[in-house]
Structure 1
Amino acid sequence: MSKSVRLGRGVATAGILGMLVSVAVGAAQADEVVKIGEVAPITGPASYLGKDTENGARLAVEEINQKGLVIGGQNVKLELETEDDAGDPRQATQVAQKLVDDKVAAIVGHMNSGTTLPASKIYSDAGIVQISPSATNPAYTQQGFKTAYRVVATDAQQGPSLADYATRTLKVRKVAIVDDATAYGQGLANEFEKKAKADGIVVLSHDATNDKATDFRAILTRIKGEQPDAIMYGGLDATGGPFAKQAKQLGMQQKILAGDGLCADDLSKLAGDAADDVICSIAGAPLEKKGKGEVFTEHYKARFGGNPVLNSPFAYDAVYVIVEAMKRAGSTAPDKILAAMPATDYQGVLGETQFDSKGDLKHGVISLYKYVGGKQTLLDVVKQ
C-alpha cells in the first residue's frame, strides 16, 4: 500500500469520525427531536417535481437546524421524514397513516391534489397540521378540516386567470378543453370552463383523457376539425408536453393554455419546439421577482447542484410556517401547532403568507408565462 493511499484513507477516516462527532454533538445538544413529515411522488412520471418538493423542505430543515431552534425553552432539532406516494391516492393514504403512527408534528404535502385530498382526512382525524405546497384543487380546503392549509393559490383563482387572459389578450372566442381526469387536471379545467363561459367564450368540447396517456392524436384530430381559437389542457407536463408536441405535428397552430402542472422550465424536453405554443400559469408569485427568491435559488443550487424546478420554494416556506407556529405556541405538540396556525403572518420566499378561515391564502397570486425558444418567460402577474 502506498503512502498516498494510506494518507487518503486516513483523511477519509478522520472525515467520517468528524461527521460522527458532529452528529453526536448535535444530538447531545438537542433536548427534543421533532419530526416533520413530507410527502411527494418520488417515483412515477412526476418524480422530478416530487424530488424538487422534497429538496425545498429539506433545505429549510437543514437551515433551521444550523441556526438553532429553541421552542418553549427547549433546544429542538428538526428531522424530515419523507415518504413517496407515487402520485397514487391509495398509496397516499397508506403513507399518511404511517406518518401519523410515527408521530410527526406536522406535514408538508402532499404534492398532487389527487393525493392531498384523500390523505387530508387521515391528518384531520389525527389533529395534525397539513400544509400542501402545491395542491390547487379548491375542494381540499372546502371539507371543513381545521388541519388543512396550503401556501399556493387555488384553481378557483388559476383557472379564471387563464380564461381572462384568453379573453382579453388572446381575443379567444372559441375554445376546446381537455383534462387528464385527475383531481388536479379536471378541477383546473372546470374552473377555466366556468370563467370562459362567463366571459363569453364558446366551449366547443370538453374531453377527458388520463394521466398515463401517451397518444392524443384521436382527440386532437377531432379538435382540429372544430377549429378552436385555443386549447385548454388540464394536467401535468408528463402528458401535457406530448399533447402539445402532437398538436404541432398535426399542423395545429392554436395556443395551448395550461396550469402549473405544465409550467416547468424544461417543458421543451417533453414538448420540443411546441413549448412555444404553450401559455401557462403558476399559482404563486414569480420567484425571480422576490428579493428572498434570489437568495433561495443560490442556496438551493449550492445544496442540490441545480436550479429550483417548481414546488421547492413553496415547500421551503411551508416548513418555516410550521416552525413559526411552534414558536408562537411555545410547543411542538401537534394540537398546539394547530391552534397557532390561524395567526400566521410570515414573510418568506413567497412573500407574505396569511391564511383565511378555510386555510387558503388571503392574498393569492397567479403568474402567467409563455415560452420563447423553449425558455420560460414571464407574461403577467395577477393578484387576487
Structure 2
Amino acid sequence: MNHLRRCNAAFATAFAASAGALCLPAPVCAADLQAIKIGLSGPLSGANAFAGKDNENGVRLAIEELHSRLFKVAGKQVRFELLSEDDQGDPKAGVAVAQKFADAGVGVVLGPYNSGVALPAARVYNDAGIMMSTVGTNPKITQSGYQLVFRIVASDAQVGAQVASYAARTLKLKTIGVIDDRTAFGQGIAAEFSRQAKAAGVTIAGQEFTTDKASDFTAILTRLKAKGVDAIFFGGYAPQAAPMARQMKSLGLRAKLLGGDTLCSPEMAKLGGDAVADNVLCAQAGAVLDKQKTGPAFQARYQARFKHNPDVYAAAFYDQTMFIAAAMAATNSVDPSVLGSALRSMTHAGVVGSYGYDASGNLKASTVTMYTFKNGALVALSN
C-alpha cells in the first residue's frame, strides 16, 4: 500500500498558496490560516443512513464551534474542511472511501460506523498514515497493532457482558435464543453475549442467522418460540430489529428482545411502533447524556442546529473531534502520528464521558448503560 503514503504536510496546507500574501476579506490574513481536511466515513444512504447522518452532524457541530472560537494551532487560525463520504455500510465501498481520503490528503477520519467496514479500512488508513476513530465495536479492530486506530466507544466484549449480566442477574432470564445478521458487528456482539450469558448460568437455546438486508424473520422466530425462550438476543441493526419486534408480537412470542447499541436508537421506536416498548432492552456505550454536566447543553445546541435530537453516537463523534483538536493545540501539530501519541497520553472531558486511550487504541474506561423504551423514547435503566 506504499502508493497511499503521502507527506503529512498535505494534511495542513496554507491558504496562502492560492491567495498569496494578500489579506482575505476577513480579519485574518491568508498566510495566517491553515486548512485541515477531516474525513467522515459512514452509511449516508440506505437503511442505516440515519446513523451515518447523526455521526456526521456530531463532527459538523464540533467543527462549527471550533471555527466560532477562532481555533488556532501553532499560532495559526485553523479552517477545517469536512469531507463526508458514503461507505454504504459495505466493506468494499469503505476501502474505496479510505483510498479516496488518502489521495485527497486527509489526515484524520471519523468513522467508519460499521465494524465490517472498519476492519478492512483500518489497514488502508494505517498504511496511509491517517488517524481513524471508529465506533465499530468488534474487538478485532484494535487488535492489529495499528497505532492510528482508535475505538471511541466500548467494545462488544464490554457491551455484550453488560447485556448478559443484566439478563441473568436483573431480569432472571433462564433460556435465551440468539440471532445474528452475519456482519462483523452482529457476529461479534452475539458471540460475546453468548459467552458471557453461559458463564452467568443462562441456557442458550438456539443460534439462528439472518442478514442485514432481511425483513422477514417469521421462520427463525417460530423455531425459537418452540424452544420456549424467555428472550432473544439480536446481533444486528435497528432496521432489522424493529420488524423483528413486530413479528414477535404477531406470533405471540412474549419474549424480551435484547441487543447492543444499534438497538438503542429512536429509529427502533419509529420503525417498530407499539411493538417496541419495555419488551426491548439494549446496552449503549457511554453514560446517560442528559445526566452529564454538559449533556443537556449539547443536546440543546444539536437540536437547534439540526432540528432533531441526537441519535446514538453524535455525542461521541463530537467529543472525539474536540479531543483531536485539543491534541493539536497541546502539541502545536497536525501530524497524525504526533496526535496519535497525544491521544494516548492526554485525557479529555467530553459531553458523554471522559476519554483517554490505551496502547491498543481502546478507551481506558467506558461506561455502558442499559436502556428500554417507554412511549417511543429511550429510558435509562442502569449503568
TM (normalized to structure 1)?
Answer: 0.91
Asked if the contact 1:128–1:338 (Cα under 8 Å) also holds between the matched residues in 2, the reply is: no
Q: 1:270 to 1:22 in 2, by over 3 A?
A: farther
1:244 maps to which residue? 245
Say whether the 8 Å CA contact 2:218–2:247 is kept in structure 1: yes
How many angstroms apart in 1 are the aligned matches of 2:35 and 2:28? 10
Give the corresponding residue for 2:106.
104
Aligned-residue offset at 1:125: 0.6
CA distance in 2, matches of 1:335, 1:145: 11
Cα distance 1:88–1:27, how it changes in 2: closer, same or farther (>3 A)? farther
* Secondary structure of 2:204 counterpart: strand
- Distance, in Å, in 2 between the alignment partners of 1:76 and 1:212 is 42
Unmatched segments (≥5 aa) in structure 1: 1-20
Taking a change above 3 Å as real, the CA distance of residues 251 and 38 of structure 1, as seen in their structure-2 partners, is: same
Asked if the contact 1:131/1:150 (under 8 Å) is kept, the reply is yes
Q: Structure 1's 38 and 354: CA in aligned 2 closer, same or farther, altered over 3 A?
A: same
Q: For residue 113 of structure 2, what is the amino acid of its counterpart?
A: M
Residues 44 and 88 in structure 2, CA contact (< 8 A), matched pair in contact too: yes
Q: Is the 8 A contact 2:190 2:235 kept in 1?
A: yes
Of 331, 334, 356, the residue aligned with 2:333 is 331
1:13 corresponds in structure 2 to: none
1:178 to partner: Cα distance:
0.2
Distance 1:198 1:177 in 2: 15
CA distance in 1, matches of 2:28, 2:283: 42
Structure 2 residue aligned with 1:82:
84
Identity %: 41
What residue in structure 2 maps to residue 161 of structure 1? 162
Question: Structure 1: how far apart are the matches of 2:155 and 2:161?
Answer: 10
C-alpha distance after superposition, 1:55-98 (max 9, x if no partner):
00000001001101211122221111111101011000001111
Which residue number in structure 1 is paired with residue 124 of structure 2?
Answer: 122
**Alpha-carbon deviation of 1:329?**
1.9
One-letter amino acid of the structure 2 residue matched with residue 317 of structure 1: D
Give the structure 1 partner of residue 57 of structure 2: 55
Q: Deviations over 1:103-159 (max 9, x none)?
A: 112111111111111111011111221111x21111111111111102211110000
- For structure 2, the residue ranges without an aligned partner over 5 or more in a row are 1-22
Against the structure 1 CA distance between its residues 22 and 249, is the aligned structure 2 distance closer, same or farther, given a 3 Å change threshold? farther
Q: Matched residue of 2:261: which SS?
A: coil
CA distance in structure 1 between the partners assigned to 2:324 and 2:246 by the alignment: 41
Render the CA deviation track for 1:266-299: whole Å, top value 9, x for unaligned.
4222112121110111111111111211111111
**2:342 pairs with one of 340, 345, 351:** 340
Residues paired across the two proteins, number: 360
Return the alpha-carbon distance in structure 2 between the equivalents of residues 39 and 233 of structure 1.
25
Q: Distance in 2 between matches of 1:110 and 1:25?
A: 37
Partner of 1:8: none
> How do residues 295-314 of structure 1 correspond to structure 2 at under 5 angstroms?
295-314=297-316
Mapped to 2, the partners of 1:206 and 1:232 lie a distance apart of 10
Instruction: Report the counterpart of residue 364 of structure 2 in structure 1.
Output: 362
Task: Give, in angstroms, the shift of residue 265 of structure 1.
Answer: 2.3
Q: Is the 8 A contact 1:72 1:327 kept in 2?
A: yes
Bigger mean CA offset, 205-214 vs 335-344: 335-344
TM-score normalised by L of structure 2: 0.91
2:177 aligned with 1:176: yes
Query: How far, CA to CA, are the matches of 1:22 and 1:291 in structure 2?
Result: 39
1:282 aligns with 2:294: no
1:46 aligns with 2:48: yes
Residue 170 of structure 1 and its aligned partner are, at CA, apart by 1.0
Give the Cα–Cα distance (whole angstroms) in 2 for the partners of residues 325 and 128 of structure 1: 15
Q: Secondary structure at the match of 1:294?
A: helix
